[in-house]
Amino acid sequence: MRKQPLQAKQGEVAFRKDLAQQHFRKKTVFHHEYSTSEMARVLREKMERCRQDFIRLRNLGITLSPFLEIGSGYGQAALLLADEFQAEGFASDIALDPLKEISRVAKTRKLSRLPRLLVFDAEAIPFPDNSLPFVFCYQTLHHFPHPLSVTREVHRVLSPNGVFFFAEEPVAQSFNLKLWYRPTKLRWWETMLKTMLILPFISRIGKTEVDHHIIEDAFTLKVWDQALEPFEIMETRLEPFPFGPAGSLEKRNPLNRIFLFFLGGGIRGIVRKKGREVRTSFPPLPRRQAGRFACPSCRNRPLLTNTKNGFRCPQCADVYPVKNNIPLLIRKQERTSLYG
């Protein structure tokens, strides 16, 4: 299976750093991305959507704490979960700079309970097997060549019966000429093509990301099936975009499939790690010790120990540093090229 190339990881780190400047410090770096005031509105809307999602999950009786969010960005989802739903857990991202803005978002939104912050690569999650009851992500899986490279890791770290929730991921549109990538804020001629209803059939979204070598993919339903294969599906929802009847992966709705074929759309899902009695490598972590990390470089994920400057692996002897109070739990080779 193809993994995310280093160049894409570098793009994530560099681009998200510049974008955070524009989103929070009123600097204009990219003309077709949101400004500081626009981003404030977008974050408000995102948090409202997250609130509805967490209410849904809570109503299904799903344990939301301790949680791990992957690809947190500015942490709006993790913040909401920590503050309004009294959950404890981690907001994480491969990019350090967006995570540094979380305290600012919390202050603006008057949220007092913050998640703990972590930098790592979602293809090598620095937690031991069977250690977390709830993992989730928004708009993250489509930045990898195949979502299975992440969902396999999620499956590994989930405790037996643990739940993975993902949302706002794209389903590929088969009917698209893919002539170019369009930016978040459309250019005038793209707006015209949008009015004529042809824009979504000839271009794809994510220009600024792709310019930075970030992967902007959309997966077919077959790929989504493969990505969720390790899990037991509780519910999924497939929504054609911009319109069309909703469906799901588990129950085939022909009309939904036709709309998805022509328009593409979005997918979200709640899935569970199969099996009641999976043999754990060690007993499930008590709540207060949920911060015990495992070495992302060593295959068997030995537990890291605390040192003065960070966390040390007893097996490979690597020391993972802490920057701005945020542990950088990335494999040495990549860590050096991403963070020096």
Interaction site with Zn ion (CB under 5 A): 295, 297-298, 313, 315-316
Least distance between Zn ion and beta carbon 315 (Å):
5
**Closer residue to Zn ion (CB): 227 or 329:** 329
**Closer residue to Zn ion (CB): 99 or 124:** 124
Least distance between Zn ion and beta carbon 318 (Å):
6
**Closer residue to Zn ion (CB): 174 or 300:** 300
**Closer residue to Zn ion (CB): 74 or 311:** 311
Q: Are 142 and 168 in contact (CB under 8 A)?
A: no
Least distance between Zn ion and beta carbon 313 (Å):
3
| Count of CA atoms in the C-beta half-sphere (13 A) of 264 | 22
Residue 243 φ/ψ, nearest 5 degrees:
-155, 165
Report d(CA 292, CA 303) in Å as an integer. Answer: 7
**Closer residue to Zn ion (CB): 278 or 298:** 298
Closest CA to 150 of 219, 237, 65: 219
DSSP structural state of residue 315: T
- Which two three-digit tokens encode residue 318? 């690597």
Question: Residue 283: what residue type?
Answer: P
Least distance between Zn ion and beta carbon 178 (Å):
41
**Closer residue to Zn ion (CB): 39 or 118:** 118
Residue 278 neighbours by CB under 8 Å, 6+ apart: 130, 160
**Closer residue to Zn ion (CB): 138 or 320:** 320
Report d(CA 147, CA 154) in Å as an integer. Answer: 11
Least distance between Zn ion and beta carbon 329 (Å):
11
List beta partners, residue 38. none
Report d(CA 323, CA 17) in Å as an integer. Answer: 15
Least distance between Zn ion and beta carbon 321 (Å):
14
Least distance between Zn ion and beta carbon 243 (Å):
50
The alpha carbon dihedral of 139, 12, 129, 306 has a sign of negative
Report d(CA 193, CA 210) in Å as an integer. Answer: 21
H or E stretch at 204: strand 203-205
